[in-house]
Structure 1
Amino acid sequence: MCSQRKISNVQALEIDLTDDSGIRPKSTFDYMGRQAGGGQNLGYTRVDFKNYLRNKRQRDLAYGEAGSVLKYFEDQSCSNPSFTYSIQLDANEQMTNIFWADHRMQINYTLFGDVVTFDTTFSTNKEDRPFGVFSGFNHHRGLVVFGAALLYDETAESFKWLFQAFLQAHSQKMPITMFTDQDAAMVKAIPQVFPSTWYGLCCWYIMQNGITHLGNMMNDRSTFLKDFKTCMFHCEKELDFEMA
């Protein structure tokens, strides 16, 4: 029963130590379950464990890093009035999602924002927050950045808020084409915020899907891989692609 579940002080200390050491939450929960002779003997569930970590990270952010982030944004806004940022708060007034774009990002998007790539990376910071980057290419095929974000999670609501903040920072200009991964929450959010934008998958994710489903047919010595790359990169028209 919910009223009987509790993380003890000793268990909390052990969770804090493993989290600070960079051990993944799933591995920590499984390890503690084996120590107790089974997860049912821990006295709390996996959901309780995740909630404890979430509250811990929110407290850490509120007491230290939140102030540092806001100070940085304020300094940037004072030195450059074009700098823009958005922060989403949860029901407990804790910072969750953060987006920012400086003047160079805004200029780049004005000039080269017809095609945008958006991707998130996991576990690159100690809070395990997804870090998202909006990027594209300039006229020299050099990489340019249009905006960046630290997210609390990868839900459709978080992505919807982020995409709206992105549009607000760039005068509501929508990209013509957007490439992302095949995250289900992202796929749900994109048409709600970018209804006129064509959405496609990055080549890297298509190749990863090929490796997952086709195995050895996708190795460098495979004639199939050569044909597959020809279809992807050398067929400009849909009919040519279907024929190939």
Structure 2
Amino acid sequence: MRNQQSGSFANVGFIHKDLHNYIQAERKIEMKDGDTEYALAYLCAKADANPYFFYKYDKDQENRLGKLFWADSRSRLDYAAFGDVLVFDTTYKTNAYNKPFVIFIGVNNHFETTIFAYNLLVDETIATYTWVLQKLLETMDNKRPVSVLIDGDMAMSEAIQKVFPNAKHRLCNWHMHRNAKRNVQVDEFEGHFKHLMDLDANEVVFEEAWSKMVRKYGLQNNKWVSDTYNNKGMWAQSYLRGYFFAGMKSSQRCEGMHAFFNECLK
């Protein structure tokens, strides 16, 4: 073996990372223009074998695959039973084409993650997300979610308001907490803000506590704080009391699914 001839793996001159990079490069070389046809043929075969399997796609002006949506029979049955709360995260792009890969998920009666649908998108515009949500309705017999929880993507937020105007909209606590840390670099603010996010009190109590916090840290002119306050109805527990989110406050279940799919999407 090469490592025995060289004395050790360290002397081979071709380490594990080099092998990984080589394989990835070869995979990209192997990708032909026909890979889209192969993918669609696969989905078509699934639909032929199971009439309850659903997929839709569209093409751009150059006849290239633009958006791809699919849901299997189990996902459709789960959505019929548990689709009152819809959760998704739009930040996953670790596939070969660097396309946004969006998973619609929820939880079942055992509080276990269940997948409702999958989307491979061309971009992250309002028009694209509107198409995706419309396909979800088409797939799920026009059943609309009661509540929607997202990561804070503004294009998706606009699309939700357009397609699901009556759904209660919530922003992910984890993303809000991260943004607070990034935008307000003041000692102790991060923890104070998190406390107000989770404050299970009436709106009057929240307003008093918020004003006190802003004065304490001198944030009266901070744009992020002002903009965040204006959207309080989408993240403050005091303004979300009485709305059903199946016990969820963040989209981190999507992050867990992304880690799983990372092993498959090459």
- Does the alignment reach a TM-score above 0.5? yes
State whether structure 2 residue 197 is matched by structure 1 residue 200.
no
Among 99, 103, 108, the residue aligned to 2:69:
99
**In structure 2, C-alpha distance between the alignment counterparts of 1:197 and 1:65, rounded to whole Å:** 37
**In structure 2, C-alpha distance between the alignment counterparts of 1:171 and 1:238, rounded to whole Å:** 37
Q: Structure 1 counterpart of 2:70, which letter?
A: W
Quote the offset at 1:234 in angstroms.
5.2
Once structures 1 and 2 are overlaid, which stretch shifts more, 117-126 or 200-209? 117-126
Report the count of equivalent residues: 187
**Uncovered stretches (5+) of structure 2, i.e. residues with no partner:** 1-23, 26-30, 210-266
State whether structure 2 residue 50 is matched by structure 1 residue 85.
no
State whether structure 2 residue 202 is matched by structure 1 residue 232.
no
Quote the offset at 1:236 in angstroms.
6.1
**In structure 1, C-alpha distance between the alignment counterparts of 2:100 and 2:38, rounded to whole Å:** 19
Kindly tell me: are residues 100 and 233 of structure 1, through their superposed partners in 2, closer, same or farther at Cα, counting changes over 3 Å? same
State whether structure 2 residue 114 is matched by structure 1 residue 134.
no
Kindly tell me: are residues 71 and 205 of structure 1, through their superposed partners in 2, closer, same or farther at Cα, counting changes over 3 Å? same
Q: Contact 2:181–2:190 (CA<8 Å) still a contact in 1? A: no
Q: Deviations over 1:143-164 (max 9, x none)?
A: 1111110001111111111111
Quote the offset at 1:111 in angstroms.
1.3
* Identity fraction in percent: 34
Quote the offset at 1:227 in angstroms.
4.6
Bigger RCO of structures 1 and 2 (CA < 8 A, at least 6 apart): 2
Q: Contact 2:148–2:170 (CA<8 Å) still a contact in 1? A: yes
Q: Structure 1 counterpart of 2:200, which letter?
A: C
**Uncovered stretches (5+) of structure 1, i.e. residues with no partner:** 1-19, 22-59
**In structure 2, C-alpha distance between the alignment counterparts of 1:238 and 1:179, rounded to whole Å:** 21
* TM superposition score normalised by structure 1: 0.67
2:185 alignment partner, SS class = helix
Alignment-derived partner of residue 158 in structure 2: 188
* TM superposition score normalised by structure 2: 0.62
Alignment-derived partner of residue 158 in structure 1: 128
Query: 5 Å matches for 1:16-165?
Result: 63-165=33-135
Q: Which structure has more helix as a fraction of its residues?
A: 1
Among 131, 135, 138, the residue aligned to 1:168:
138
Q: Structure 1 counterpart of 2:164, which letter?
A: F
Q: Deviations over 1:99-139 (max 9, x none)?
A: 00111111111111111112123431110000001111112
**In structure 2, C-alpha distance between the alignment counterparts of 1:225 and 1:104, rounded to whole Å:** 41
Aligned Cα root-mean-square deviation (Å): 2.9
Kindly tell me: are residues 146 and 242 of structure 1, through their superposed partners in 2, closer, same or farther at Cα, counting changes over 3 Å? farther
